[in-house]
Amino acid sequence: MDKKIPEIILNTMFEYDGFGCFCAKDIENVAPDEPPKTTLKLYNDMSKTLRFAYSAKTGLNLTGKAGGVIEQNILGKILALPNGNIDKHIEFFETYGFLLPLSCDEFESVDAVTLLEVVNRIKATIRLMNAIGKKNYKKMLIHATYLLYSPVMHINTTEVQYETCRHKFSTLLENYNYFPDLGSVPEVFVKGTYSVQDTMIGEKNPIDIEFYNAVRSGADTKVPGSKDSRFKHIMAMYTGCQDEDEETRTLIDFYYHFQTEVSVIEDVCFNSIKLYSHTDETTFSDNIKLALVRIARIVVAEEINHNIQGIHPKYDGSKLTATWQVDTLIQAIYFSIFYMKAGVEIYKECENPNCKRDKYFLVKTTRGNKRYCCEQCRGAASSQRHRNRNI
């Protein structure tokens, strides 16, 4: 553990007390030609007490009881965890504690793939906040779509049952496939179209009935990927879910327009999206960009609200002060994201390729030209450039 930094005393907005944990890997060969299954076995190390505190200027930090910082920038350390590297995740949990309460006298079992996905959702939420602040429309699309299209993940311990955010849109996308027969609708009979009240254009949008019927039946269309099952569900939702709440309807309308005007979404992974037609951000219309900002804000809000719903205010009578009751590390992490100011603060990646400190660091957008997490990294990168020029 790094030495305490006594000169920094936090004016905290909330605190969380937890424990370090012990973690071991169980690797099971399930069947031939299948990858082995990795299960983590964890329990609380009660001898290692931890306190975290959030400060408006420095984010979530590991602190001492007197408020001095021991280690800064916990969210930056989460962002820096290598994707898919379970060993580095284990190091993080053993140092800073597990996301959820654990037993102190028996092992808790957690599937490694599930845990990696839960951490990826944390990263995606932070990166989506960054993308909103920087108006990076491609990254808004990637991170929002990942959070909406990915399955709900569950982690159960003896003390708590946790599941990732279950967006209403996501539930509809997975299950809604009702295509009504519109042949008897007068507009269809007279004009060959069916009009849908649309939040993106602010008026009714006429859909060509031949295109609707082709998607419904799985026939060929001029839109690559129109046979994709999720796109078919989007078409069904667009025409059938007209009484949904405004935010869910906004999400439905955006994904209908994006996939009929730009490209149908083929696959979504953490940090990337695959489309049936090659495209880039320069092809996004102004309406698509404006709608992307709206849907990104909706997704961020739903992710954060889901994960902080157990936090509640608490009054300390001995100190006559108000506090927040934060019960888990994952609550503390999302509460830290809650306090981030989109458009004012962003997490940047240190441009020193050999950074050993805070690879991702919190910075004001007014200091958008800051390229390194610290003076040491700036100096190291400068020295490396100098050496490269003299080779």
Q: How far is CA 133 from CA 99, 235, 345, in A?
A: 27, 31, 8
Within a domain: 140:
no
Task: State the Cα–Cα distance between residues 122 and 76, nearest whole angstrom.
Answer: 11
Question: pLDDT per position in the chain (391 positions), as tens?
Answer: 444 444 444 466 889 999 999 999 999 987 888 889 999 999 999 999 999 998 877 789 999 877 788 888 899 999 999 999 999 999 999 999 999 999 988 999 999 999 999 999 999 999 999 899 889 999 999 999 999 999 999 999 998 999 999 999 999 999 999 998 898 999 999 999 999 999 999 999 999 999 999 999 999 999 999 999 999 999 999 999 999 999 999 999 999 999 999 999 999 999 999 999 987 777 899 999 999 999 999 999 999 999 999 999 988 787 777 888 999 999 999 999 998 876 667 777 777 777 776 677 777 765 666 787 777 887 777 776 666 666 6
Phi and psi dihedrals of 24, rounded to 5? -130, 155
What's the confidence (pLDDT) of residue 8?
46
The whole model's pTM is what? 0.89
Q: Where are the alpha helices (DSSP H) in 241-340?
A: 246-261, 286-308, 329-339
- Look at the chain and report how many structural domains it folds into: 3
161 and 23 in a common domain = yes
339 and 350 in a common domain = no
Four-point Cα dihedral 130, 89, 64, 372, nearest 10: -40
What's the confidence (pLDDT) of residue 5?
47
125 and 27 in a common domain = yes
116 and 95 in a common domain = yes
121 and 19 in a common domain = yes
Of 15, 128, 136, the residue nearest 66 (C-alpha): 15
83 and 27 in a common domain = yes
Task: State the Cα–Cα distance between residues 215 and 209, nearest whole angstrom.
Answer: 10
26 and 72 in a common domain = yes
What is the 8-class DSSP label of residue 183?
A: T
338 and 352 in a common domain = no
353 and 339 in a common domain = no
Domain coverage including residue 355: 346-391
Within a domain: 184:
yes
What's the confidence (pLDDT) of residue 1?
45
188 and 70 in a common domain = no
114 and 12 in a common domain = yes
The sign of the torsion formed by the CA atoms of 149, 155, 156, 162 equals negative
Within a domain: 110:
yes
User: Residue for token digits 């069916």?
Assistant: 194
Within a domain: 86:
yes
